[in-house]
Amino acid sequence: MKSSSIKIGICQLAVTPDKAFNLRNAEKMLKAAAKERCQIAILPEMFNCPYEAELFSRYAESYPEGKTSTMLSETAAQEGMVIVGGSIPERDEDGNIYNTCFIFDEHGCLLGRHRKIHLFDVEIAGGTVFKESDILSAGQDVTVIEAAGLTMGIGICYDIRFPELSRLMALAGAKLLIFPGVFGMTTGPAHWELLMRSRAVDNQVFVAGAAPANIPKASNQVYGHSMVVDPWGRIISLADEKENLLTVEIDLEILNKTRRELPLLQHRRTDVYDIYKKM
């Protein structure tokens, strides 16, 4: 491994209604990522429960008492690996429920948490109908953290559709943007790859999308296709729809080279943008 490289693992899990099974499965794949010498392991959105809004309250946990965050913390410490914990339904002290990603360092200490900012309220004719805001509260914070010698930005699923958020994370120094997400069979084939590559090119960063695996007979069919994209917009690792551990080395020199040769961020016309803000 080059000195400028970091190895990451994306755990594309099959998520079932059995929470205990989901946690065991996640722990098993995290440990497999550690055996592959991954420095950072990433789980999918809502990896401890089915992605069904009416179930979120039943599966919700509070931090730090919850079984899921405890497993993540203990596994991170045991394996000496940073864990980006996909997301789970988190219940706060006031009873609000958030779609939350907990991030733990290699000692098992909480580095931060990202609460999904943009809630997925859509009604696509002949396709997806979903209203997260019936159950979930929206997060308010942009999440950028330092871990494993790397600055990372964290978003969750629908957050990737809003380029302002990714740009804010890149301007804050993020070189890898991580998006755990559950795309279905309407939006997945149309937009999943497009969005990952767009955010990578927009901001000249690496982008990792962590999705759950599809279960053929499940009521909710998901797209899968976890992937990692480089700052030039090239897909450097891609899963299919099946359960899989995706491991990939990201070389930060590719990011530096891209930004030297095509200095996009330096060419931003904030003087013009500021004028439009005032109009």
pLDDT at 278 over 70: no
pLDDT at 88 over 60: yes
CB 42 within 8 A of CB 29: no
Query: Which residues are CB-neighbours of 212 under 8 A, at least 6 positions away?
Result: 12, 13, 14, 15, 44, 45, 46, 47, 51, 182, 222, 224
pLDDT at 279 over 60: no
Domain ranges of the chain: 5-278
Burial degree of 63 (CB within 10 A; 0-12, 13-18, 19+) = middle
Catalytic: which of 116, 132, 193, 241?
A: 116
Between the alpha carbon of residue 177 and those of residues 37, 84, 190, the distances in Å are 21, 11, 21
Residue 229 to residue 202: CA distance in whole angstroms: 12
CB 8 within 8 A of CB 30: no
Catalytic residue list contains 45: yes
Catalytic: which of 11, 19, 38, 45?
A: 45
Q: What is the pLDDT of residues 135-190, one digit of tens each?
A: 999 999 999 999 999 999 999 999 999 999 999 999 999 999 999 999 999 999 99
Catalytic: which of 157, 193, 241, 243?
A: 157
Catalytic residue list contains 2: no
Kindly report the three-state secondary structure assignment for every residue of the chain. CCCCEEEEEEEECECCCCHHHHHHHHHHHHHHHHHCCCCEEECCCCCCCCCCHHHHHHHCECCCCCHHHHHHHHHHHHHCCEEECCCEEEECCCCCEEEEEEEECCCCCEEEEEECCCCCEEECCCCCEEEHHHCCCCCCCCEEEEECCEEEEECCHHHHHCHHHHHHHHHCCCCEEEEECCCECCHHHHHHHHHHHHHHHHHCCEEEEECCECCCCCCCCECCCCEEECCCCCEEEECCCCCEEEEEEEEHHHHHHHHHHCCCHHHCCHHHHHHHHHC
Please tell me which residue, 124 or 79, carries the higher pLDDT value. Answer: 79
Cα-Cα-Cα-Cα torsion 45, 243, 196, 105, nearest 10 degrees, comes to: 50
CATH 3.60.110.10 fits 5-278, yes or no: yes
pLDDT at 197 over 80: yes
Q: What is the pLDDT of residues 226-235, one digit of tens each?
A: 999 999 999 9
Whole-structure pTM value: 0.96
Residue 273 is predicted with a pLDDT of: 85
Catalytic residue list contains 116: yes
Please tell me which residue, 4 or 72, carries the higher pLDDT value. Answer: 72
- For 121-150, b/e burial (b = at least 16 CB within 10 A) is eeeeeeeeebebeebbbebeebbbbebbeb
